[in-house]
Structure 1
Amino acid sequence: MHETIFVNTHKGLQSRRFSGLGHINVICGRNNSGKSTVLEAIVKSGVGRATDPEPLIDMARNLAHKDKRNGIDPQLWSIIEPAILDAMRSIHTNRTNVFSEEGIRNAITSIVEVSSNLVEQYIETDKMDARLALALKSRAMYLDSALHSAFAKVYRSSFNAVLMPARRQIEPQSNLDSSDSGDTLEPNGEGLVQHLFACRNKRKSSPERHFYDSVRQHFREISSGFDFDLSMSDGGLISIDFFSEEGAHPADKCGLGLHELLVIISFTLWGTKSAVCIEEPENHMHPEMQRRLLSFFRHVTTRQFFISTHSNVFVNSAAVDKVFFTSYKDAAVHVDDVTSRATALHDLGYSVTDNLVSDLVILVEGPTDVPIVEEFLEKLGIGERYTIKIWPLGGDIMDQLDLSVFGEKYKSIALVDLDPGSGGVRKRFAEACSNLNIELFRLHRYAIENYFTLDSLRSVLGNQIPCSVTTIATDKPLKDQIGINVKKNNRKIARAMSFDDISNTDLGAFFRRVEQMVKGQ
């Protein structure tokens, strides 16, 4: 897993670093905003190991002690040593600690150019004869390859990615290729049928058969009951059929969603690439299937994912680690690190009507309540199985909002805290909910942060929590008790807790009520 990668200039995207990366990284944006360009650049990217100058300097000095074929002649080293060491220190000073291939090449070119000038100056100053001068120049010719080899060892890269294009579809029928070794498997689905057939016929203990069984298992789980099977005609033609409770369906008679799913699962589980870039994995898939696919990425696989999407499901900060927003202006692709999901949805042009497929809408007081609710929905195991939208209402202005759209269009529930300082606002809000048949759940504690445990607070905030604090009072602001505002860390603190920490509280009762509502109980 790489936290930082460096991409070179590609089409309209200028060279840049992507930092703070996690397991699942999402790129969203409007049509033709450069999402595919970013994925293409990532596939071609370089990633280096951060380092201090000492390893680089040691690397350069060691070259002087190797044989002439693989190293730098000692006489040549004595001439160019100042240029090499200055360059190494400059790399550190400029914090160039994540290198692309282009960056390495530029650094070496610069060093070789300066070194060549030093050699010329030395020859002229020392007035050596022509034979020795020629020998010294010929040794300098090997400097480029020697430096590149040494840099490659210091700046090792284990990042390699594959791109799955937006157009993916399996071939319903394929000729048997007895020599199949996986090399025929393409990220767009070509060769998949014959590869699965070859893997199915391997020994049960073989890696290939394990791959086939895993693909089939996860396909059944994510598709919610569909299955597939392969058969071969007398003429050696392999066919694939999908199955449901209604019977068998030839692949070419089925919707493309099942094709997409099988390709994505197969290619994610096969091969040795450390990262998988997927264009629009939501293509032809119902939101429920998208959620299960996202859960598969997160919980079943260890590969790093870079996903371009237009789907609300994949732009979900509770399930992904990083969200980037692309825009195209002034003939260039711009990429912003979007830390707020609300900002991302706003920039994408989403409105309330984009969420009509939700199973439940939870109305909360403010945006800092949202990550807490999301984390406990995930812990309860319903966040990935149902489409639950959480809408912050603005705290003390929530009684001024028109809630009719929620009462008319959604199955909704509202969650508010005790906060006696805003009793009038909460009373008017409760009346509005009652008039619209929106269920209202009133917490017994001052705020939702008062349900945080001391252990979770200390695990995230460490020594910022005074040792003198031994308990959290339920009727006082948390900030007044511990001396700091924790709202920016609400997700991390909630993630550090278990559902058992709130199970016996009224907040636990709220989430159990949510579970009943999405299950239709």
Structure 2
Amino acid sequence: MSIFLKNLEIKNFRGIGKRIVKMEKFEKINLFIGENNSGKSTVLIFISNYLKEIQKNTGLNFDPSQNLDLSMEDTNSPIEFSSNMSIELYQAGLDIINKEKRNKVMSFFDDILLNNESILKLNVKINEKGNLEKEILDKNGELINFINMKYYHDCLGDIAGALSVSLSNTSTPSTIWREVIDDYFRLFKSSLQPIKIIPTLRYIDEVGNPFDDYSGKGLIECLAGLDRPDIKNSNDRLKFRKIENFLRDVISNLNATIEIPTNKSAIIVEINGKRLPLENLGTGISEVIMIATFCTLSENEIICIEEPETHLHPILQKKLINYLNKKTSNQYFISTHSASFIDTPDAAIFHVYLENNQTMIKEAILNSDKYNICHQLGYKASDILQANSVVWVEGPSELIYLRYWIECVDSSLVEGIHYSVMFYGGRLLSHLSGDGEEQDDSEEEDVQRFIQLPSLNRNSLIVMDSDKKSDDDKINNTKKRIKKEFEINGGYVWITQGREIENYLNYPDIQEALKANHPRIYDGQDKDGQYDHAFYFKRKPKSGKIEDSIEEKADKVSIAKWIVDNHKQSFTKLDLNDRIYGVVNFIRKANGLEEIEIKPPTGD
């Protein structure tokens, strides 16, 4: 996974004031969505200007003549940022530490700072003179201070010996501590990959300019070099082919080719025997090919992209983000005000907004968070729900399985382009689960609103657990109502033949996944039946007890990821084979594609 910058906290930078803005988990694709002038480019500017300088320069200070981006509300406070780094990353970077002191420093981090697999936080302040002040915070965000702490004296003494630094008493370990902080800072720098930015204004200019940034200057000559590389750079031809294949997907023509003429005057696209300059295909096509080219040229880098949706139709936006996600190796930080990116699979979505004239950033995790973003941007619900097909699932684990099963049967279907996934959750789950409790008026209203959704998009599909405890058990009334409404509106309804979706998995694979994800407490299988809870397992006895007990709270998402990552799938269980082909053909029909033939189930 291309995740080089894991998290970030920023304070006193541009529109961000004294209230710390926390982004606790970055993914490969990170989207910063907000209204104009909300500060959605703030993080990109910080990464592309400040982290880039830290990553590439050996010096530890910034040039104050460059007008540092201090907070607009308090120019006297230093810019401050923090980022976490785990012990694994520290070990990976030990080669930059002097071999003679490596073991002592490593022991210090292992035994004292990082016991119990905790994580430390590097905190850096940049004042108005460009000077850097570095600190290390503990897992609670508190400054680690070794002054007058007898507990650390012996370990610090060992490190002092390794560093050839004298340690006279417990009140003066600052020199040794400074060495440790500097090592930690250098390791943070080494963990960052090269950083580039694709600006808002992009254009393909005339021949002759050097290709030294990602604005479009020199792009024609760069592509010419990829098309006809010398022997030492023969792999560049593969990059050219990737760009060409992306063009074919964008314009829906499998025979299209790209060529650069001898005079390098334009990028020529040949379609069915006709040769046209790229810009003749439309500004949107030219724009999306340009961005895809930049991101293909970069490998294992951090790329910041400002407003990639400019001139792009929503379908082109989705195709671009899918290409970046599936076909490139970079980590992306993207500022946008387009809702078309909001359902990007596995992306981290951050809502950027103003609160008391300060830029605030909050991760959008729940559907309600994403809805609020769309509402603030001026989108209507119908704008979002008019995807070619909308698939409703209960939660993240169901999404992981369904996405994987669809790809196994028809890898040409792409989430975010051919279908979008929505979660039904919250109080509605209790009505779908068959708990037998009566509904109050507000709960009935929730169900009533939900069953109206297929009328907004007739290509709606829903997957529901049956929750049956035996073969004689009945589907509850709420599920029956939903099934009826979806089918009346032309939708597809899948109610599991077993108790829940996990009953479609091979039971030995479930046990292997449970043991791998819960090694400390897993002690054996429970029951393997069509209507049993497939994820219940026997746990090891707790201290003081003789008999083991049944564990009912396995991490379903981690198990689902393990099953998928290890390709543990068979379509032989229950009616899974027929169901997944039904889902695939429903989505294909919604996209105007021909149905595919149902093949016999494969697997153990």
Q: Same fold (TM over 0.5)?
A: yes
Q: Give, in angstroms, the shift of residue 513 of structure 1.
A: 0.9
Match of 2:587 in 1: 518
Q: Is the 8 A contact 1:361 1:391 kept in 2?
A: no
Query: Match of 2:26, as an amino acid?
Result: L
User: Equivalences for 1:279-298 in 2 at 5 Å?
Assistant: 279-298=306-325
User: How do 1:266-281 residues align onto structure 2 when only pairs under 5 Å count?
Assistant: 266-271=293-298, 274-281=301-308
Q: Are the equivalent residues in 2 in contact too, given 1:8–1:100 (CA < 8 A)?
A: no
Residue 446 of structure 1: how far off its partner (Å): 1.3
**5+ residue gaps, structure 1:** 63-88, 109-143
Question: In 2, distance between residues paired with 1:423 and 1:307?
Answer: 44
Distance 2:202 2:568 in 1: 40
Residues 46-445 of structure 1 aligned to structure 2 (within 5 Å) = 97-100=121-124, 102=126, 105-107=132-134, 151=182, 155-156=186-187, 157-158=189-190, 159=192, 160-171=194-205, 174-176=206-208, 180=210, 182-183=211-212, 186-203=213-230, 206=233, 209=237, 211-225=239-253, 226-233=256-263, 238-245=265-272, 247-271=274-298, 274-316=301-343, 318-320=345-347, 322-349=348-375, 351-364=380-393, 369-380=398-409, 381=411, 382-384=413-415, 386-392=418-424, 394-397=428-431, 400-401=448-449, 403-407=451-455, 409-420=457-468, 423-445=476-498
- Is 196-205 or 250-259 further displaced after alignment? 196-205
Cα 1:493–1:228, aligned 2, differ >3 Å: closer, same or farther? same
Distance across 2 between alignment mates of 1:209 and 1:101: 44
Report the counterpart of residue 31 of structure 1 in structure 2. Answer: 36
1:507 paired residue among 546, 564, 576: 576
Question: In structure 2, what is the Cα distance between the partners aligned to 1:199 and 1:408?
Answer: 47
Aligned equivalent of 1:11, options 2, 9, 14? 14
Deviation at 1:199, TM superposition (A): 4.1
Q: Which amino acid aligns with 2:495?
A: R
- Matched letter for residue 346 of structure 1: N
Tell me: CA distance 1:232–1:272, structure 2 relative to 1, closer, same or farther (3 Å): same
Name the aligned partner's letter for residue 475 of structure 1: Y
| Residue in 2 that maps onto 1:484 | 552
Residue of structure 2 aligned with 1:472, choices 503, 528, 532:
528
* In 2, Cα distance between equivalents of 1:475 and 1:48: 44
- RMSD, aligned CA: 4.2
Query: 2:42 and 2:527 mapped to 1: Cα distance?
Result: 52
Contact 1:28 1:323 (8 Å CA) reproduced: yes
The 8 Å contact of residues 367 and 423 in structure 2, kept in 1 or not, is answered as no
Contact 2:292 2:324 (8 Å CA) reproduced? no
Counterpart CA distance in 2 for 1:442 and 1:271 is 45
The residue type equivalent to 2:31 in the other structure is: V
The 1:4–1:423 alpha-carbon spacing in structure 2 relative to 1, beyond 3 Å, is closer
SS in 1 for 2:32: strand
1:448 corresponds to which of 479, 501, 508: 501
From the superposition, tell whether residues 464 and 219 of structure 1 become closer, same or farther in structure 2 (CA, over 3 Å): farther
For 2:85 and 2:565, the matched residues in 1 are separated by 30
How far did residue 257 of structure 1 move?
Answer: 1.9
- Contact 1:241-1:251 at 8 Å conserved across structures: yes
Matched residues, number: 443
User: Does the CA contact (< 8 Å) of 1:317 and 1:341 recur in 2?
Assistant: no
Q: Within 2, Cα distance between the matches of 1:273 and 1:424? A: 52
User: Offset at 1:269?
Assistant: 2.6
Question: Once the 2 structures are TM-superposed, how far is the Cα of residue 335 of structure 1 from its aligned partner?
Answer: 1.2
How far does residue 342 in structure 1 lie from its aligned partner after superposition? 4.5
The CA distance in 2 between the partners of 1:164 and 1:195, in whole Å, is: 16
1:40 to partner: Cα distance: 0.8
SS at 2:258's partner residue? strand
Please identify the structure whose Cα radius of gyration is greater.
1
Cα displacement (A) at 1:107: 4.5
Q: Cα distance 1:8–1:396, how it changes in 2: closer, same or farther (>3 A)?
A: closer
CA contact (8 A) 2:499 2:530 kept: yes
Residues 269, 301 of structure 1: 8 Å contact kept: yes
More helix by share: 1
| Aligned partner letter, 1:326 | V
With over 3 angstroms needed to count, the CA separation of the structure-2 counterparts of 1:411 and 1:465, relative to structure 1, is: farther
Q: Which residue type is aligned with residue 354 of structure 1?
A: D
Structure 1 length normalisation: TM-score?
0.70
Contact 2:124 2:134 in 1 (8 A): no
User: Using the alignment, how far apart are the partners of 2:5 and 2:84 within structure 1?
Assistant: 10
Offset, 1:366: 6.1
Write the deviation string for residues 26-78 of structure 1: whole angstroms up to 9, x where unpaired. Answer: 222333322111211122235686689xx9xx99x99xxxxxxxxxxxxxxxx
322-331 or 238-247: which moved more? 238-247
Q: Which amino acid aligns with 2:557?
A: N
Q: Is the 8 A contact 2:390 2:422 kept in 1?
A: yes
Q: Which shifted more, 459-468 or 294-303?
A: 459-468
Deviations along 1:308-349, one digit per CA (max 9) or x if unpaired, are 2344553336332x2222111212111113333542233332
SS in 2 for 1:468: strand
Q: Aligned partner of 2:259: which letter?
A: D
SS across alignment from 1:98: strand
State whether residues 229 and 242 of structure 1, in contact with CA within 8 Å, keep that contact through their aligned partners in structure 2. yes
Instruction: Name the CA distance, whole Å, in 2 between partners of 1:262 and 1:436.
Output: 39
Higher relative contact order (CA 8 A, sep 6+): 1
Which consecutive residues of structure 2, in runs of 5 or more, have no partner in the other structure?
A: 55-82, 102-111, 136-174, 433-446, 469-473, 538-549, 590-594, 596-604
Counterpart amino acid of residue 422 in structure 2? I
